[in-house]
Amino acid sequence: MRIVFAGTPAPAVPSLRALDESSHDVVGVVTRTDAPQGRKRVLTPSPVAEAAAARGLPVVKADRLGADATSAVDALRPDLGVIVAYGGLVREPLLSLPRHGWINLHFSLLPRWRGAAPVQHALIAGDRTTGAAVFQLVPALDAGDVFGEIRYEVPESATAGQVLSDLAEQGALLLRDVVDAIAAGTARAVPQTGEPTLAPKLSLSDGLLDFTAPAREVLDRFRGTTPEPGAHTLIGGQRLKVLAARSGPDAALAPGRVELIDRTVVVGTSSGTVALDEVQPAGKGRMAAADWWRGLRVDALQADGTGPEAPAAGAGRTEHAP
């Protein structure tokens, strides 16, 4: 089949690679326009744009799939559209333009965690099993019939970045198999069942750790917001990024109280403690938490503020994305 692929971030690259190395013909790649990166804000192509260029594939850069992008895709005469974390909605007439429509690789077990940040929300919620699904794109958010899925047991200490990397590789193989089945006429999609939950895009405030919660919930939020949008706490009103954390020792610390115990920076919670291994103070680079603490020359500190409330199931609205 002639395939048009739409994707933007690094987790979409394994799917592009799998399709380009399959028996099908990737006739074009749609990705978002170059974005400023780093402190100098240098305009940089998306990871998908770079991967497509390295493979000699035609690239269409568009921040929304409007009339211009639709015309560009139409000229490619695709049989199938494939979208993986592009970062925008596919609407009519583009949705019906390919002969087989569009399919989406989504990084959750639908209908749980429909939306832009499924892996992050799964970890924040404490899900120990998640997965990936390939479904038929329809106008409603991530609501189409599912062609296939894989299940994934979340490692105890894995962050969202690590889980997403694993699912990107495993999901690419699932996607390739579904595309093969569609080409062979053997693909069968089944309706989603169960109560949907939504996974809207996270903001910086979602990474604020609430040490009045139990240690397990604090660590779930840490893992779900690492590396993006970034877990952090406030010390004296200043943001302290938390880059590595784990369950702490059995110690009687009030929620939010920070002390050095046996050369480890430990924070009290409502139940248990959290050990900070790596941090990044405002305006500085990453460092061992113990080194940060020694530079403060204090006996104890109090982490300020509390984290955001978890969104209610079904709350919010977001775009088609991972």
pLDDT (tens digit per residue) in 273-317:
999 999 999 989 999 999 999 998 888 889 986 555 433 333 333
The pLDDT score that the predictor gives to residue 41 is: 87
Q: How is the chain split into domains, by residue range?
A: 2-184, 204-304
The pLDDT score that the predictor gives to residue 322 is: 36
Q: Which of 265, 296, 269 is nearest to 279 (CA)?
A: 265
User: Do the Cβ atoms of 85 and 322 come closer than 8 Å?
Assistant: yes
Tell me the CATH number of domain 2-184, given options 3.20.20.30, 3.40.50.170, 1.20.950.20, 3.40.640.10: 3.40.50.170
pLDDT (tens digit per residue) in 125-151:
999 999 999 999 999 999 999 999 999
Q: Is it the case that residue 251 has pLDDT exceeding 90?
A: yes
Percentage, residues of the chain above pLDDT 70: 94
Q: Is it the case that residue 13 has pLDDT exceeding 90?
A: yes
The pLDDT score that the predictor gives to residue 39 is: 77
| Structural fold of domain 204-304 | Methionyl-tRNA Fmet Formyltransferase; Chain A, domain 2 (3.10.25)
Q: What is the mean pLDDT of residues 152-160?
A: 96
Q: Is it the case that residue 101 has pLDDT exceeding 50?
A: yes
pLDDT (tens digit per residue) in 210-239:
999 999 999 999 999 999 999 999 998 899
pLDDT (tens digit per residue) in 66-77:
999 999 999 999
Q: Is it the case that residue 321 has pLDDT exceeding 70?
A: no
The pLDDT score that the predictor gives to residue 313 is: 35
Q: What is the mean pLDDT of residues 249-266?
A: 95
What is the Cα–Cα distance from 269 to 251, expressed in whole angstroms?
10
Residue 268, classified by CB atoms within 10 Å of its CB into exposed (0-12), middle (13-18) or buried (19+), is: buried
The pLDDT score that the predictor gives to residue 237 is: 87
Helix/strand/coil percent split, the chain, to 5: 25, 30, 45
The pLDDT score that the predictor gives to residue 297 is: 86
Average pLDDT, the chain: 93
The pLDDT score that the predictor gives to residue 307 is: 57
Q: Identify the band that residue 265 occupies on the pLDDT scale cut at 50, 70 and 90.
A: very high
Helix axis angle for 13-20 and 160-184, nearest 10°, is 30
User: Do the Cβ atoms of 214 and 273 come closer than 8 Å?
Assistant: no
What is the Cα–Cα distance from 105 to 111, expressed in whole angstroms?
13
Q: Is it the case that residue 88 has pLDDT exceeding 60?
A: yes
User: Do the Cβ atoms of 13 and 52 come closer than 8 Å?
Assistant: no
